[in-house]
């Protein structure tokens, strides 16, 4: 596509397309296309001017090459991208503001005063009705203050003041609604546009496929620990479903054949086959928006305190206006007081600060489910790490396979991968990846698989019971034995690897050697967390004492626990909380779920089990533990911003009330400054706490 360059700076370029303006759909297509390139760090497309601002970290010629190759007809964009776009929403609010301003001043220039007075009286009745409705609910709210102020101005014949106040209130209400709606929708879009793979049930068996190709009527298999990807109806199977994200129910609910299930809920126990009834990703979008807007229990204590104060201050503002009139007998002074209240600014700035912080965290591949958890991260003094897939790399590797039977190592690996591919754990992923690397096709050889939490997997292969998992599960729970002539081989298994045991028909068939190297950033992350005030940094793992000690030493973690069960992790969390500590738990597996739920803030690794991500309060990208340091910084700065907003709002509005009482400031000016400051604080609250994402490494290093 042809274009012209309008402006250019280092790593930033503004391009103009050869059209007057873009449609919403065209702007979304262009933005979707540009964001698909790793060289482009950020992009903004403006449909009104047909401009695109591109931030990049490559050679300028590469950007021009990318744009020249663009064509609207050649880009395939998922329909959910258009449905979840915020462009039309923003354009609608922009038009409302512009229309309000034009009509307000056009009426003054064109309409006679008598007609304008009638219109002002009619609008005043609307504001009075809004104020009276708050009394019906037995609550004194800011709408009552507005109604009294406007009606007082009309009663004394000051129609210009009444008109200006109503105009400013309408502009302020529109801007506040726009600001809040944009914050909520931006966050909801980030939470709802996740595309996962699913197990599609076909005539030839289960096939792993991209969720975007699934259609209504298709049958999808969902096993224990996995999230249900679509709304649907159960056609076979029974399961306990965690529906907390949609219904708020804390306990899992039993679901059976013929019953409905919702996208975003998680199978805690059992297996299901569902017939898909709704495939659009944005079916969840509205639910997520509702969850964000209505989740009062997820607000931070500072946020809730500010909003409670806002409600309590309304009667005092009304009292101050009444006393001002009683003492001065000056209705203008009293109206000036009524034009100012604390409620609007406090109730808008605080939630927007939190939503903005959650949105900023999402730019670092973190999903936070509420301000309550950001506050917990800011106040926490204890952080507990699971080892496998958390402190160590998200994808452990298979170093080798030792055969304890007549079958070849490749055949045993193929069979193990066939079992492991159904379960989203880092060790299971390592087995599957190794089989793929060696070109070992592992068609479904087994009967239905059963996952035993924190132990392993059981199934049948060729009418033989097959199990794969830990030493405890395979040898103690299942009673697997080792052939006498293989005992020496077993004793010689190398200690530097973790061992995954595979047995069939009660006999050990193979030991899969797992190398689980520590993430290279782990020591620096531990040091940075310690520098940011964490008193207790703990590692807990089900691995042996030998492996745990080695990893803890390499990570500079002084407190660790080995060979622990899920209940041990959650028990430690409860113990620390009883001692007065604020606790964060970081994990990635189904066995971490109890501890994630018990912690003040549970952080799950995104490549881990779906149930861990569902139960956790925060999810981070598995490729970078430094996100936890960034999360701590965002949380700390958010609490500082909330306190600053609180002090600024109370101080500024108190000053306006004082000036109104003194007669220095007329009502229209008070209303303008009050609404202007409210919007300004709201817009400031939407800015990044850490600055540009490109400064991430500098932020971590310098604190």
Q: Who contacts 102 (Cβ-Cβ below 8 Å, separation ≥6)?
A: none
Residue 358 lies in a domain: no
Tokens 């992790």 label which residue?
569
Domain boundary among 77, 104, 136: 77
- The per-residue pLDDT for 597 is 81
470, 429, 463: which is closest to 447 by C-alpha? Answer: 463
pTM of this prediction? 0.62
Q: Distance between CA atoms of 506 and 493, rounded to whole angstroms? A: 20
Residue 291 lies in a domain: no
Residue 359 lies in a domain: no
Residue 59 lies in a domain: yes
557 vs 349, higher pLDDT? 557
Q: Who contacts 529 (Cβ-Cβ below 8 Å, separation ≥6)?
A: 383, 537, 628, 629, 632
- The per-residue pLDDT for 189 is 58
- Proportion of the chain above pLDDT 70, given as a percent: 81
Residue 99 lies in a domain: no
502, 271, 533: which is closest to 381 by C-alpha? Answer: 533
232, 260, 247, 228: which is closest to 287 by C-alpha? Answer: 247
Q: How confident is the model over 635-650, as a mean pLDDT?
A: 89
Q: CB–CB of 250/221 below 8 Å?
A: no
630 vs 617, higher pLDDT? 630
Residue 105 lies in a domain: no
- Side-chain-side CA neighbours of residue 249 (13 Å): 12
- The per-residue pLDDT for 182 is 65
Domain boundary among 586, 601, 623: 623
Answer whether residue 529 shows pLDDT above 90.
Answer: yes
Quote the tokens at residue 689.
Answer: 């706490």
Answer whether residue 249 shows pLDDT above 70.
Answer: no
CATH number of domain containing 460: 3.40.1110.10
Answer whether residue 168 shows pLDDT above 60.
Answer: yes
Q: Distance between CA atoms of 136 and 127, rounded to whole angstroms? A: 15
Q: CB–CB of 670/340 below 8 Å?
A: yes
CATH number of domain containing 43: 3.30.70.100
Strands (DSSP E) along 404-479, which ranges? 450-452, 456-461, 464-469
Does residue 56 sit in the same domain as residue 123? no
Answer whether residue 484 shows pLDDT above 60.
Answer: yes
583 vs 151, higher pLDDT? 583
Q: Is 42 exposed, middle or buried (0-12, 13-18, 19+ CB in 10 A)?
A: middle
Q: Is 343 exposed, middle or buried (0-12, 13-18, 19+ CB in 10 A)?
A: buried
Helix H or strand E segment including 537: strand 536-540
333, 314, 313: which is closest to 323 by C-alpha? Answer: 333
347 vs 399, higher pLDDT? 399
At residue 295 the predicted structure's pLDDT band, cuts being 50, 70 and 90, is very low
Residue 682 lies in a domain: yes
Sign of CA dihedral 201, 207, 211, 213: negative
- The per-residue pLDDT for 405 is 92
Q: 620-634 as b/e, with b when 16 or more CB fall inside 10 Å?
A: bebbbbbbbbbbbbb
Q: How confident is the model over 646-668, as a mean pLDDT?
A: 82
- The per-residue pLDDT for 285 is 46
Does residue 184 sit in the same domain as residue 308? yes
Domain span holding position 12: 4-77
Q: How confident is the model over 589-594, as a mean pLDDT?
A: 70
- Residues forming a β-bridge with 584: 383, 601
- The per-residue pLDDT for 524 is 93
The Cβ of residue 177 has, within 10 Å, a number of other Cβ atoms equal to 13
Q: What are phi and psi of 533, to 5 degrees?
A: 105, 5
Q: Distance between CA atoms of 507 and 51, rounded to whole angstroms? A: 68
Does residue 523 sit in the same domain as residue 508? no
Q: CB–CB of 96/174 below 8 Å?
A: yes
């Amino acid at each position: 596509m042809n274009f012209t360059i309008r402006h250019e700076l280092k790593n930033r370029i503004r391009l103009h397309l050869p059209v007057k303006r873009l449609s919403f759909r065209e702007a979304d297509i262009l933005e979707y296309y540009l964001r698909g390139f790793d060289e482009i760090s950020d992009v903004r497309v403006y449909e009104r001017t047909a401009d695109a601002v591109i931030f990049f970290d490559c050679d300028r010629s590469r950007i021009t090459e990318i744009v020249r190759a663009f064509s609207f007809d050649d880009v395939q964009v998922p329909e959910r991208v258009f449905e979840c776009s915020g462009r039309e929403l923003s354009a609608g609010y922009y038009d409302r503001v512009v229309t309000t301003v034009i009509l307000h001043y056009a009426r003054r220039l064109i309409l006679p005063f008598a007609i304008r007075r009638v219109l002002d009286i009619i609008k005043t009745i609307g504001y009075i009705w809004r104020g009276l409705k708050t009394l019906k609910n037995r609550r004194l709210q800011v709408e009552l203050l507005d109604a009294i102020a406007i009606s007082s101005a009309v009663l004394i014949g000051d129609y210009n003041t009444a008109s200006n106040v109503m105009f400013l209130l309408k502009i302020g209400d529109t801007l506040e609604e726009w600001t809040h709606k944009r914050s909520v929708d931006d966050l909801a879009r980030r939470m709802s546009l996740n595309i996962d793979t699913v197990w599609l049930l076909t005539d030839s068996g289960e096939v792993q496929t991209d969720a975007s190709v699934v259609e209504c009527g298709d049958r999808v298999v969902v096993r224990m620990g996995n999230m249900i990807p679509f709304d649907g109806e159960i056609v076979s199977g029974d399961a306990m479903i965690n529906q907390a994200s949609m219904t708020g129910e804390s306990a899992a609910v039993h679901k059976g054949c013929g019953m409905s299930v919702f996208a975003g809920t998680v199978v805690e126990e059992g297996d299901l086959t569902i017939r898909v009834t709704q495939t659009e990703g944005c079916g969840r979008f509205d639910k997520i928006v509702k969850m964000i807007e209505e989740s009062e229990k997820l607000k931070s204590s500072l946020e809730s305190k500010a909003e409670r104060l806002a409600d309590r201050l309304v009667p005092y503002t009304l009292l101050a206006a009444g006393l001002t009139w009683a003492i001065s007998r000056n209705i203008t002074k009293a109206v000036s007081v009524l034009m100012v209240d604390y409620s609007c600014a406090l109730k808008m700035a605080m939630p927007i600060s939190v939503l903005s912080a959650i949105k900023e965290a999402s730019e670092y591949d973190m999903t936070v489910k509420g301000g309550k958890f950001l506050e917990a991260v800011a106040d926490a003094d204890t952080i507990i790490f699971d080892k496998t897939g958390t402190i160590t790399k998200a994808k452990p590797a298979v170093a080798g396979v030792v055969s304890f039977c007549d079958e070849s190592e490749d055949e045993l690996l193929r069979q193990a991968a066939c079992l492991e591919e159904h379960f989203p754990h880092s060790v299971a992923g390592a087995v599957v990846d190794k089989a793929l690397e060696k070109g070992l096709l592992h068609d479904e050889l087994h009967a239905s698989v059963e996952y035993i939490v924190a132990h392993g997997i059981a199934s049948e292969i060729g009418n033989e019971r097959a199990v794969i998992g830990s030493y405890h599960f395979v040898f103690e729970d299942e009673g697997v034995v080792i052939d006498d002539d293989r005992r020496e081989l077993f004793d010689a298994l190398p200690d530097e690897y973790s061992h995954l045991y595979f047995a069939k028909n009660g006999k050990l068939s193979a030991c899969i050697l797992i190398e689980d190297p520590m993430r290279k950033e782990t020591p620096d992350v531990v040091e940075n967390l310690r520098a940011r005030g964490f008193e207790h940094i703990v590692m807990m793992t089900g691995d042996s004492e030998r492996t745990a000690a080695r990893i803890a030493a390499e990570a500079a973690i002084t407190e660790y626990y080995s060979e622990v069960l899920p209940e041990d992790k959650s028990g430690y969390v409860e113990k620390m909380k009883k001692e007065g500590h604020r606790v964060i738990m970081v994990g990635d597996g189904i066995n971490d779920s109890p501890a994630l739920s018990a912690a003040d803030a549970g952080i799950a690794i995104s490549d881990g089990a779906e149930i861990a991500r569902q139960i956790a309060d925060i999810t981070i990208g598995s490729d970078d533990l430094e996100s936890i340091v960034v999360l701590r910084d965002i949380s700390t700065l958010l609490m500082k911003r909330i306190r600053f907003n609180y002090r600024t709002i109370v101080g500024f509005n108190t000053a306006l009330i004082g000036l109104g009482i003194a007669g220095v400031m007329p009502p229209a000016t008070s209303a303008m400054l009050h609404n202007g400051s409210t919007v300004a604080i709201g817009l400031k609250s939407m800015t990044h706490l850490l600055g540009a994402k490109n400064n991430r490494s500098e932020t971590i290093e310098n604190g």
